[in-house]
Amino acid sequence: MTTDSDIYFELTGSGDMVRLEPKTLARGSGELTDWDRNWIDTLVTVKGGHFTGQFEAMFMTTDFERFKQELKPLYDNLKGTAKFSGFEGQLELKIKGDGIGHFEVDVLACDQPGIGGVLTFKMSFDQTIIKDLVEQLDSITRKFPIVGDFNIKNE
């Protein structure tokens, strides 16, 4: 079983926050497919304005790796997008750069997709934190690497 409370991804801006804390690989019983071996139980904490919440979600190792690969070039390019979204629809982060070092994030958090509560808000940050965010994602993808045959591989 894999667990480490020091591994997280945290995006903050103007008092708002999204924090993902990957806890353990979710192992089913029986014969596991590549798909089954790549789910991570994750604690999600959000704060948008005066609203706060916390819920458990499952994301795939590929979600974190894809997001890291999309976010990394934004430090130099300043204009472009990066998106984090889980297959289950519990969290979506859409980051867009304006070309001069300012980034806006559209956040959608849903504790139980289809039937649960939904929180949407916007955040902003500047280019200077991108390297720290990529390092945080790199820690996650080293601890929880992609296993098996997928179109995306760990960098």
For residue 3, the 8-state DSSP code is -
Domain ranges of the chain: 9-143
Q: Given phi > 0 = left and psi -120 to 50 = alpha, else beta, which region is 9? A: beta
CA–CA separation, 68 vs 84, rounded Å?
A: 9
**Which value, in Å, is the radius of gyration of the alpha carbons in the chain?**
15
| Residue pLDDT, tens place only, 48-94 | 999 999 999 999 999 999 999 999 999 999 999 999 999 889 999 99
CA–CA separation, 142 vs 109, rounded Å?
A: 25
CA–CA separation, 119 vs 110, rounded Å?
A: 6
Q: Is 147 exposed, middle or buried (0-12, 13-18, 19+ CB in 10 A)?
A: middle
CA–CA separation, 58 vs 55, rounded Å?
A: 10
pLDDT at residue 1 tops 50: no
Q: What is the pTM of this model?
A: 0.92
Q: What is the mean pLDDT of residues 19-30?
A: 85
Class of the CATH-defined domain 9-143? mainly beta
